[in-house]
Amino acid sequence: MSKNACRITGIITIIISVFLIIGGLYLPQAGVMPQITITSLVTGIFLLIVGIVFYKILKTDEK
């Protein structure tokens, strides 16, 4: 995977994770089941970590 593809993938996963984390924090106020909010938070945190790995850590050496 090229360097730009890794960065784009990282940015997309970070954006999705932010929406999932915000949703997990504000869904309890809307009366949604606790399992959905916990799943949303855990998935958001996981995607945030994956996005950071793709954006910062995975770098291919293109010359």
37 located within any domain: yes
pTM: 0.81
Residue-level pLDDT at 19:
95
Burial environment of residue 16 by CB neighbours within 10 A (0 to 12, 13 to 18, 19 or more): middle
List, as one string, the DSSP characters of 2-61: -HHHHHHHHHHHHHHHHHHHHHHHHGGGGT--HHHHHHHHHHHHHHHHHHHIIIII----
Say if 16 falls within a structural domain: yes
How many domains does the structure of the chain reveal? Answer: 1
**Is 63 domain-assigned?**
no
Q: What is the pLDDT of residue 27?
A: 76
CB 45 within 8 A of CB 14: no
Report if residue 61 sits inside a domain. no
Q: Which domain holds residue 44?
A: 3-56
* More confident of the two residues 49 and 6: 49
Write out pLDDT tens, residues 18-36: 999 998 888 777 777 888 8
